[in-house]
Amino acid sequence: MQNEAVLDHRLVGGHGISSALPQQGRRGRKMPPIVLRITLGLALAWVALVAGLGWWTSQRIVNARLDNVAASAEYEARTTARVVDRLFTEMVSVANMVARQGQVIQLAARYRTDPPGAAELTRQQRAAQFTQDPLVRRVGDYMNALASDLRYARIYMNNLSDDTVTASNWAESDSIVGMIYSGRTYLIDALRHGTGQQFGIARLNNSPSYFVSSRIEDANDVPLGSVTAKFDAPEMAAYLTGRHIALIVNRQGRVITASSESFMLRNLAALLPPGTVLPPDGGEEPGEPMNAHPIANAGPDAGQWLIDDKPYLIRRQPLTNPQYQLITLATLDHVAPMRTQHLYTAGLVAMVGLVLILLSGQAAGQMVMRRQEEQYAANYDALTGLPNRRAVLAELDRLFTLAKETRMWVLVAFIDLDGFKAINDTYGHVVGDKFLIEVGQRMSAGLRKSDMLGRLGGDEFVVIGLVDPPQPDDPNGPAEAMRNRLAPLLTGTYTFTECSFDYPGASFGIASVDPSVSSLQAVLKVADQLMYADKQARRTQRTA
């Protein structure tokens, strides 16, 4: 155990030359101490100067950009609010105009309520009864022409039984004629108060829509039914054009129209002024809440929020219809890239100065680096990355010297990959190369800390190391111990992208010698002879 401790201490990096060369390469890249201290001093001063000026310049540019975005968002919010207000006013006007049209009043008076038993009929049966009436069809055609001109989803008329007497789509396969809309808030309000409004999800096509209704009255102001103008939210969204995201939200905070689809029908109650959010009224769902909170370091009045982890500058704008509010979101995604761009610019300026400062040292470093790379290439196998024959022999010579000093023995293991030519011939040289690489990786897993694995060339590998002198009653103990560690690792299945095969194992020739009575050439010869003997024995065993 004492000899092993001495060995671990004296081996370079625990793996001989395989660790020594990279470390030497890294030392070769360092500047001389005096040059390094002066260079670092100048570099730090330059970096500090660039960082200070860069931060100050970046802050001024970003703040100016934020002011421009805020002004743009405020202007767009006011402009969009006027457009939305006009749309809502137009819907009310259209509903009122249709409700006061002579033929509509005549039709409403004719079908003021459903006859007994109508509720038990199917929608199609009720529709068939209504559409037999030429007046139903004429009023429906009038509503269809008007809805097409105004891009409304639908205009329809309901009687006091909430039954749809006619509609702009009366002749279509998805006609709502004969549909009974009991309990609809906008219809109830229209009959009670003259007008009714509601946002909801249409049940037939599952479309989010605005419903505006107006009461139909006779000459004596007796209610006869109602006319409803339905305007789909996607059509409303077409008017929310601009650079920024425009949202129409209701008093519960639900986004009922959005210029960006990802916000539609979500809930942003956190953005509404405190005390203005109403609880759900039992109608439509409030919508899935979005994660929204103010940006902490932006200041309380900056209006900067994180919504689902994306930064926005928000502006609120009330609408004429108190049920809704317009929110404008100006994305601030460009701020972080802007700061990053400024950082890169400052970094580039700093780098230019650093390059000038480090130029002379860099030239010397390149020369040393080339020498280290040449030395590495001369001592390592290009395919497996393992030490090559030259490195192995140099390390073995060093081990002989070290073994004499520590009174240890030198162990050499030759490994020859049986059947490697057949693998190349069967699967190709690409698979053969991958096989060699994996063999090296598998054997590396079975090495001791002080062992060194190398590739001699072709399908031949070698392991060298120091071991304690063998016991008199077990002269082959160290060799067998190494064989037991490495041989099982090489047998079994090898799986690659191109193929998979079972490999029966390799031939081993393992020799341990006393360096005081043997030589480097002798141990190599013995190990080589033992390997060929093992190969012959394995071949005989396979053919038996």
Q: For residues 390 and 378, is the Cβ–Cβ distance under 8 A?
A: yes
Task: Give the angle 405-413-515 at the CA atoms, nearest 5°.
Answer: 25
pLDDT at 221 over 80: yes
Confidence at residue 5, expressed as pLDDT on a 0 to 100 scale: 41
Select the CATH number that applies to the domain covering 382-543 from these four: 3.30.70.270, 3.90.1170.50, 1.10.10.10, 3.30.420.10: 3.30.70.270
Confidence at residue 375, expressed as pLDDT on a 0 to 100 scale: 83
Confidence at residue 22, expressed as pLDDT on a 0 to 100 scale: 40
Confidence at residue 369, expressed as pLDDT on a 0 to 100 scale: 66
Query: Chain-wide mean pLDDT for the chain?
Result: 87
Residue 108's pLDDT band, with cuts at 50, 70 and 90, is: very high
Query: b/e for 406-425, b at 16 or more Cβ within 10 A?
Result: bebbbbbbbbbbbebeebbe
Confidence at residue 444, expressed as pLDDT on a 0 to 100 scale: 94
Domain 100-236: CATH superfamily is PAS domain (3.30.450.20)
Distance CA 162, CA 114 (A): 9
Q: DSSP readout, 162-193? A: SBEEEETTTTSTT--TT-B-TT-HHHHHHHHH
pLDDT at 32 over 80: no
Concerning whether 534 is annotated as a catalytic residue, the answer is no
Distance CA 21, CA 456 (A): 18
Which of the residue ranges 47-61, 125-139, 252-266 has the most confident prediction, judged by mean pLDDT?
A: 125-139
| Residue 512: CB atoms within 10 Å | 26
**What is the average per-residue pLDDT within 152-166?**
95
pLDDT at 37 over 80: no
Which tens digit of pLDDT belongs to each residue from 420-452? 999 999 999 999 999 999 999 999 999 999 899
Q: Mapping DSSP to helix (H, G, I), strand (E, B) and coil, where does residue 74 land?
A: helix
Residue 99's pLDDT band, with cuts at 50, 70 and 90, is: very high
Which of the residue ranges 53-67, 70-84, 92-106, 359-373 has the most confident prediction, judged by mean pLDDT?
A: 92-106
Classify 225 in phi/psi space as left (phi over 0), alpha (psi -120 to 50) or beta: left
Distance CA 303, CA 271 (A): 10
Confidence at residue 354, expressed as pLDDT on a 0 to 100 scale: 79
pLDDT at 462 over 90: yes
**What is the average per-residue pLDDT within 489-501?**
95
Least confident range of 156-170, 334-348, 527-541:
334-348
Which of the residue ranges 40-44, 181-185, 396-400 has the most confident prediction, judged by mean pLDDT?
A: 396-400
- Considering only residues 215 and 174, tell me which one the structure prediction assigns the higher pLDDT: 215
Confidence at residue 300, expressed as pLDDT on a 0 to 100 scale: 60
Residue 299's pLDDT band, with cuts at 50, 70 and 90, is: low
Confidence at residue 8, expressed as pLDDT on a 0 to 100 scale: 44
The share of the chain scoring above pLDDT 90, in percent, equals: 58
The share of the chain scoring above pLDDT 70, in percent, equals: 89
**What is the average per-residue pLDDT within 170-179?**
93
**What is the average per-residue pLDDT within 463-480?**
91
**What is the average per-residue pLDDT within 27-36?**
58
Structure tokens at 383: 């395919």
Confidence at residue 364, expressed as pLDDT on a 0 to 100 scale: 54
pLDDT at 240 over 90: no
Task: Give the angle 246-251-253 at the CA atoms, nearest 5°.
Answer: 55
Distance CA 355, CA 363 (A): 11
Q: Mapping DSSP to helix (H, G, I), strand (E, B) and coil, where does residue 229 land?
A: strand
Q: For residues 463 and 482, is the Cβ–Cβ distance under 8 A?
A: yes
- Identify the DSSP state of 20: H
Residue 383's pLDDT band, with cuts at 50, 70 and 90, is: very high
Least confident range of 28-42, 239-253, 324-338:
28-42
pLDDT at 363 over 70: no
* DSSP element (H, E) containing 324: strand 324-331
pLDDT at 298 over 80: no
Which tens digit of pLDDT belongs to each residue from 74-95? 999 999 999 999 999 999 999 9
**What is the average per-residue pLDDT within 368-394?**
86
Confidence at residue 148, expressed as pLDDT on a 0 to 100 scale: 94
- Considering only residues 344 and 361, tell me which one the structure prediction assigns the higher pLDDT: 344
| CA separation, residue 155 to residues 82, 99, 152, 184 (Å) | 24, 11, 7, 16
Confidence at residue 23, expressed as pLDDT on a 0 to 100 scale: 40
Task: Give the angle 305-306-311 at the CA atoms, nearest 5°.
Answer: 85
Distance CA 452, CA 449 (A): 8
**What is the average per-residue pLDDT within 34-43?**
76
**Boundaries of every domain in the chain:** 19-63+337-379, 100-236, 382-543
Which tens digit of pLDDT belongs to each residue from 191-214? 999 999 888 876 666 788 899 999
Residue 412's pLDDT band, with cuts at 50, 70 and 90, is: very high
Residue 495's pLDDT band, with cuts at 50, 70 and 90, is: very high
Choose the catalytic residue: 162, 418, 459, 534. Answer: 459
pLDDT at 392 over 90: yes
Strand order in the sheet with 310-318: 255-258, 245-250, 324-331, 310-318, 304-307, 292-294
**What is the average per-residue pLDDT within 175-183?**
92
Extract the runs of DSSP E, i.e. beta strands, from 337-485: 409-416, 452-457, 460-467
Specify burial of residue 379 (Cβ count, 10 A radius: 0-12, 13-18, 19+).
Answer: buried
pLDDT at 107 over 60: yes
Least confident range of 109-118, 362-371, 380-389, 487-496:
362-371
**What is the average per-residue pLDDT within 499-513?**
94
Confidence at residue 403, expressed as pLDDT on a 0 to 100 scale: 93
End-to-end Cα distance, the chain: 43
Q: For residues 501 and 494, is the Cβ–Cβ distance under 8 A?
A: yes
